[in-house]
Amino acid sequence: MSLRLKILLLAVAPLLLAAIAIAAVVRIEARALAEAETRAVLPVLESMRRAELKHYVDLAMGGIVGLRKVDTPAARAQALAVLQQLNFGEDGYFFVYDTQGRNLMHPRQPQLVGQDLWELRDPQGVPTIQHLIAQAREGGGYIEFQWNRPSTQRIERKLGYVELVPEWGWMLGTGIYLDDLEEARLHIDAAASNAIDATMHIIAVIAGAAMLIVAICGLALNLSTQRHAEARLRALAHQVVLSQETERARVARELHDGVSQLLVGVKYIFESVREHIQQCALQASDPLASMTDKGVARLNEVLREVRRISHDLRPTALDDLGLKAALAQTLDEFGIRTGLKVSFKAEDRPDLPAPVATALFRVVQEALTNIERHAGASEVSVSLMARPRALRLSISDNGRGFDLDTVAAQPRGGLGLASMRERIETLGGICLINSGLQGTSIDVVLPASALKP
């Protein structure tokens, strides 16, 4: 893992952990708030239901208050008829029992009328009617019980309010089923869950946006650092090339001014010895004369080789006469040495900066070396076209070509090609290499910005 990626992870990981922690705290607090709201709201709702039930019973008592003054069967029957007509909602009704547990009126379940329900018990075994009558005898009040809901035919919890009608010995009451309280609790839970989900979504969006911003900033920093590093690398490569050229020039001068002069001095000594031998009228076949001639010949070969090496290191024509003259001299020597047909076409541009002229000369030099060693070509063409906005160097041969990928995959293959590209790219140009069965071509293009002195 790279250092930049580690730094990015160190920046993103705490942010992600903080977002997760915030989300967890918000969820816990929201759930606690919802539970607190439930605990606060449900008693209020229950209190409202209790007040509502007492109000209904008071209304029912007021509806039969005049009939209660007359203790006759007709008055009782009329009172039951009035109570039977009173209802509220789908499952809101009044019921009447005598104190012995016999049902006198039930508008939703008429089949119960006249039945003795004293022993009626709910699924848990609680005597429902007995508890209702006992509550009424104690002065009335609220009581929670279970009863068959007419609209659903299910046993459900119910909150009732009962009072005693002392004149007739009745227990009058009504009730409401408590599912609405459960629905209120579920509604509060659902609202809290929706709010929690919305908050989690907002936190996720904010965290994602923050991480995206961090990633973008990290990427921008990475790209900026990479561009800076590439610029420094190009500057370093350019400096290395300049150092190489400076060292080459120094070695070339040492060879030309030092070694060459020493060899020339030795050659003069050998030539003086040969003249002295001739003056002494020695036979031409004398071993000493023969050895002297061989020594002079070998010295001439060494001098030519030293001059060639010195020229390859740094041709004096490049500094004295310019790129065109240096290329013309190099190509002439290459054609003479290899016997290849060489064509050269160039437009003179004497104002080329020294680094540009050196780089182009080295590209041609490296290309000629590759052609001589590997191409098996018979013809070589070099052209140098100078334009106001660009300069183009083209080198082509009719050799057997090569596969670029194969050469690049070799451990030491393609070093010369890579050196060409590095030299040109350091100057801000491009170097295109194409090779096939018809030969190899190298095209170098330098922009106008690279041609400024």
Q: What is the pLDDT of residues 294-308, one digit of tens each?
A: 777 777 777 777 767
Decide which of 183, 198, 233 is a domain's last residue: 183
Please state the rounded mean pLDDT for residues 157-175. 92
Residue 217, domain member (yes or no) = no
Q: Residue 368 belongs to what domain range? A: 320-451
DSSP string, 355-424: HHHHHHHHHHHHHHHHIIIII--SEEEEEEEE-SSEEEEEEEE-S----HHHHHHSTTTTHHHHHHHHHH
Q: Is 27 domain-assigned?
A: yes
* Residue pair 159/178 in contact by the 8 Å Cβ criterion: yes
Query: In angstroms, rounded to a whole number, what is the distance separating the alpha carbons of residues 41 and 95?
Result: 29
Bridge partners, 435 (sequence order): 440
Rg (CA), the chain: 56
Residue 103: which H helix or E strand, with range? Answer: strand 103-105
> For residue range 97-140, what is the model confidence (pLDDT) as tens digits?
999 999 999 998 899 999 999 999 999 999 999 999 999 999 99
Instruction: Report the DSSP beta bridge partners of residue 24.
Output: none
Tokens read off for 112: 């119960």
Res 55 pLDDT > 80: yes
User: How does residue 160 score in pLDDT terms, banded at 50, 70 and 90?
Assistant: very high
H-helix or E-strand containing 91? none
User: For residue 171, what pLDDT is reported?
Assistant: 94
- Please report which helix (H) or strand (E) contains residue 10, including its range: helix 3-63
What does each C-alpha distance from 125 to 100, 119, 121, 128, 392 come to in angstroms? 19, 10, 5, 9, 106
Percentage of the chain modeled with pLDDT above 70: 84
Domain boundary among 183, 206, 228: 183
Q: Is residue 372 part of a domain?
A: yes
| Alpha helices (runs of H) in 64-165, residue ranges in sequence order | 73-85, 128-137
Least confident range from 72-76, 247-251, 271-275, 382-386: namely 247-251
Decide if 192 is inside a domain: no
Question: Of 158, 183, 208, which residue is a domain's last?
Answer: 183
294 part of a folded domain: no
Backbone dihedral angles phi then psi of residue 204, each to the nearest 5 degrees: -65, -40
What CATH number is associated with residue 82?
3.30.450.20
Q: How far apart are CA 181 and CA 383, in angstroms?
A: 96
Which region, left, alpha or beta, applies to residue 428 given φ > 0 means left and ψ of -120 to 50 means alpha?
A: left
Number of domains in the chain: 2
261 lies in some domain: no
In a domain, 311, yes or no: no
25 is written with which tokens? 């705290």
Tokens at 282, concatenated = 């020695």
Q: Please give the pLDDT value at position 325.
A: 85
Angle at 179 between CA 176 and CA 185, to 5 degrees: 125
Looking up residue 376, the CATH number of its domain turns out to be 3.30.565.10
Q: Which amino acid is at 206?
A: I
pLDDT at 415: 61
Distance from C-alpha of 87 to C-alpha of 160, rounded to nearest angstrom: 14
360 token code pair: 């182009």
Average pLDDT value for residue range 140-162: 90
Query: What value does the mean pLDDT of the chain take?
Result: 81
Q: Which H or E run contains 246? A: helix 179-253
pLDDT digits (tens, 9 = 90+) for 100-109: 999 999 998 8
The Cα 396–Cα 208 span in angstroms is 56
Which has more pLDDT, 208 or 156?
156
CB-based contact 30:195 (threshold 8 Å): yes
Query: CA 95, CA 163: separation in Å to the nearest integer?
Result: 11
Question: Is 354 domain-assigned?
Answer: yes
Tokens, residue 293: 């001639």
Sign of CA dihedral 299, 303, 308, 310: positive
User: Can you list the positions of beta strands (E) in 123-259?
Assistant: 141-149, 154-165, 170-177
Q: Are residues 179 and 326 in the same domain?
A: no
